[in-house]
């Protein structure tokens, strides 16, 4: 192949590459939705607003898997990625009327008497179950009884009793103790309403490691919620502590301070400070900002006495 033919082939190849269409990044499809919250559920559900405009907290009528329900607008119209939507997305049927709200209030009154009757039937049949709550669906097509139990309960005869009294479909649902706390509500040790009743949509896994990283006492009474399980706030504060812990040396680190060398005995991640037991004055530990200390030897979490030897002593031994 001569030089002219090679040049022509190269030009053709370059033109072919230039002619290929460039891939344009795909734009995620979004859908306009409103968030609707229901009683006994901390989770919000997406509905299509249609041609209606809603205000925050406004009550609406929607169709769910359980039937017609009354809910409230937890978030006004906004757009979300289409892959977050479970199809088909149902529309909000209408805004709740005064008659709808009155009917809902009347259902709440009926639920009180239904709970009293159910409790008597449970005691009469000596069933090992704890009735937590009773809920009528909006259209009264179903009566739901929520209960807790340590093991499986044979409630078939109880269902027959209740169906004969209330003349509607009966649904008994066994729930966990965390769900019970959400339904009953209350105040946490912080003095605020339970997280699960105010804003948490799902229960995430919480571990004892999270309590350790946040310098909590491992006394179960201090790190457990009213439900008896580890506090939910340990989970959603975990990421903040995890990031803050990267900025401070761990316990048992040997550090240099403006007042001399010493060992870190306490870490305060969010404040970015550490308590140091000085070699010269071990009886009077001091608190220092991280910016004022220099780490001579990093400690290990849960380190023993053998890890608290000064770095200078280790260097002398090696020499």
Cα gap 163→222, rounded to integer Å: 44
Residue 17 has pLDDT above 70, yes or no: no
Residue pLDDT, tens place only, 268-292: 888 888 899 998 888 888 899 988 8
- The CATH number corresponding to 102-175 among 3.30.300.30, 3.40.50.2300, 3.30.300.20, 3.40.50.300 equals 3.30.300.20
The whole-number pLDDT of residue 145 equals 93
Residue pLDDT, tens place only, 203-214: 778 888 888 777
More confident residue, 43 or 187: 187
The whole-number pLDDT of residue 59 equals 93
Nearest of 271, 266, 240 to residue 253 by alpha carbon: 266
Q: What is the mean pLDDT of the chain?
A: 81
Confidence of residue 95 (pLDDT cuts 50, 70, 90): very high
The whole-number pLDDT of residue 196 equals 80
Structure letter (DSSP) for residue 291: G
The least confident of 70-84, 115-129, 183-197 is 183-197
193-224 burial by CB neighbour count: b if 16+ within 10 A, else e?
Answer: ebbbbeebeebeebeeebbebbeeeeeeeebe
The whole-number pLDDT of residue 247 equals 84
Burial class (CB in 10 A: 0-12, 13-18, 19+), 263: buried
Domain boundaries, the chain: 30-96, 102-175, 193-242, 248-301
What number is the average pLDDT over the span 157-185? 88
Domain 248-301 indexed as CATH 1.10.3720.10 = no
Structure letter (DSSP) for residue 207: -
The whole-number pLDDT of residue 316 equals 37
Confidence of residue 27 (pLDDT cuts 50, 70, 90): low
The least confident of 48-57, 147-156, 299-308 is 299-308
Residue pLDDT, tens place only, 114-148: 999 999 999 999 998 999 999 998 888 889 999 99
Residue pLDDT, tens place only, 219-266: 777 888 888 888 888 887 788 888 888 888 888 899 889 888 999 988
Confidence of residue 45 (pLDDT cuts 50, 70, 90): confident
Residue 306 has pLDDT above 70, yes or no: no
Cα gap 134→40, rounded to integer Å: 10
Residue 3 has pLDDT above 60, yes or no: no
The whole-number pLDDT of residue 61 equals 92
30-59 burial by CB neighbour count: b if 16+ within 10 A, else e?
Answer: ebebbbbbbeeebebbbbbbeeeebeeeeb
Confidence of residue 304 (pLDDT cuts 50, 70, 90): very low
Q: What percent of the chain has pLDDT over 70?
A: 84
What number is the average pLDDT over the span 24-48? 79
Find the largest Cα–Cα distance for the chain.
104
Angle at 188 between CA 186 and CA 192, to 5 degrees: 85
Identify whether the C-beta of residue 34 lies closer than 8 Å to the C-beta of residue 76.
Answer: yes
Confidence of residue 4 (pLDDT cuts 50, 70, 90): low
């Amino acid at each position: 192949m001569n030089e002219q033919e090679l040049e022509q082939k190269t030009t053709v190849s370059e033109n072919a590459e230039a002619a290929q269409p460039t891939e344009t990044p795909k734009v995620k499809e979004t859908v306009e939705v409103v968030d609707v919250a229901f009683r006994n559920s901390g989770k919000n559900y997406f509905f299509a607003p249609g041609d209606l405009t809603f205000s925050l907290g406004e009550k609406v009528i929607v169709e769910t898997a359980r039937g017609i329900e009354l809910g409230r607008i937890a978030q006004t119209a906004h757009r979300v990625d289409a892959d977050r939507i479970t199809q088909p997305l149902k529309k909000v049927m209408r805004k709740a009327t005064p008659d709808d709200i009155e009917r809902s209030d009347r259902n709440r009154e009926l639920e009180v008497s239904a709970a009293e009757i159910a409790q008597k039937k449970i005691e009469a049949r000596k069933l090992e179950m704890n009735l937590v709550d009773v809920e009528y669906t909006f259209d009264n097509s179903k009566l739901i009884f929520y209960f807790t139990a340590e093991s499986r309960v044979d409630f078939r005869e109880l269902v027959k009793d209740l169906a004969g009294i209330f003349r509607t479909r009966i649904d008994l649902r066994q729930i966990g103790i965390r769900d019970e706390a959400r339904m009953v509500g209350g105040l946490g040790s912080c003095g605020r309403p339970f997280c699960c009743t105010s804003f948490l949509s799902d229960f995430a896994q919480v571990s004892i490691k999270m309590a350790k990283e946040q310098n909590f006492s491992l006394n179960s009474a201090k790190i457990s919620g009213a439900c008896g399980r580890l506090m939910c706030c340990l989970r959603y504060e975990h990421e903040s502590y995890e990031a803050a812990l990267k900025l401070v040396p761990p316990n048992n680190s040997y550090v240099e301070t403006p007042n001399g060398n010493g060992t870190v005995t306490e870490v305060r991640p969010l404040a970015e400070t550490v308590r140091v037991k000085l070699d010269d004055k071990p009886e009077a530990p001091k608190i220092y900002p991280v910016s004022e200390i220099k780490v001579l030897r990093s400690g290990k979490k849960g380190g023993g006495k053998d890890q608290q030897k000064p770095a200078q002593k280790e260097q002398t031994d090696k020499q």
